[in-house]
Chain A
């Protein structure tokens, strides 16, 4: 069965960077986009971007250009998102989600989320 297992919660200082992971299993990792979505406490969902692990192609929400960097390791079927120059506005739960193969590309599978807390 398809599973997306994310790394654990992070407490990081303002101005630093953090890299969170999403390990995929149960399907061919290189054949599906992996998307990342942000959810601030008590708020809605915000799409950050996707990476296609097959060739490393990425697409970002312009709002996150320079903030988020998406990478993928085919050998371990793991997608990564690095967040840089962290501020309190980056404190949120971050989800990875697999994009379906159809053009409509919905999110049928989600990771459990990684809480990032930015605090001195």
Chain B
């Protein structure tokens, strides 16, 4: 299985930049496409798609969110962080089966 590793938590101040990383145990790129996606989850809610294929902003998601990276190293950036962004963020790969998720990074206020 492809293992996705995220830091458990990140403390950030409002209006500052948050950078959340996701490292994969295998390359998740194929023919120039990154099979890496990012989700936001708030307590008691379902996950919400933010970024697909590494860097594409999902419909209705503010431009404060961006995704970058390739191969085995990916980053979700939130700039600037707003109060509504306090949540847990998950990366997910769809290069191979089984689909796997990172353990999640809980974004907290400093």
Kindly provide the distance from the CB of A67 to the nearest chain B CB, expressed in whole angstroms.
Answer: 13
| A100 at interface by CB-CB < 8 Å | yes
Contact between chains at A108 and B47 (CB < 8 Å): no
| B37-A104 in contact (CB<8A) | yes
B98 lies within 8 A of A63 (CB): yes
Shortest distance between the CB of A100 and any CB in chain B (Å): 7
Contact B101 A104 (CB under 8 A): no
The 0/1 profile, CB within 8 Å of A marked 1, for residues 75-91 of chain B is 00000000000000010
Tell whether, in the assembled complex, residue B101 and residue A44 are in contact, meaning their CB atoms are under 8 Å apart: yes
- In the assembled complex, which residues on chain B have CB atoms less than 8 Å from the CB atom of A113? 46
Q: Which of B33, B59, B90 contacts A45 (CB 8 A)?
A: B90
**A112 contacts which chain B residues (CB < 8 A)?**
45-46
Contact for A44 among B45, B52, B53, B90, CB less than 8 A: B90
Residues of B in contact (CB 8 Å), total 24
Instruction: Kindly provide the distance from the CB of A48 to the nearest chain B CB, expressed in whole angstroms.
Output: 9
Which B positions have Cβ atoms within 8 angstroms of A?
33, 35, 37, 39, 45-49, 52-53, 58-59, 90, 92, 94, 97-104
Is the Cβ of B97 less than 8 Å from the Cβ of A107? no
Q: Is A53 an interface residue (CB 8 A)?
A: no
Apart from A62-B98, A63-B98, A95-B47, what 15 extra A-B contacts exist at CB < 8 Å? Answer: A35-B99, A45-B47, A45-B101, A59-B97, A61-B97, A95-B46, A100-B52, A103-B35, A106-B37, A106-B52, A108-B49, A110-B47, A110-B48, A111-B46, A112-B45
**Are A106 and B46 closer than 8 Å at their CB atoms?**
no
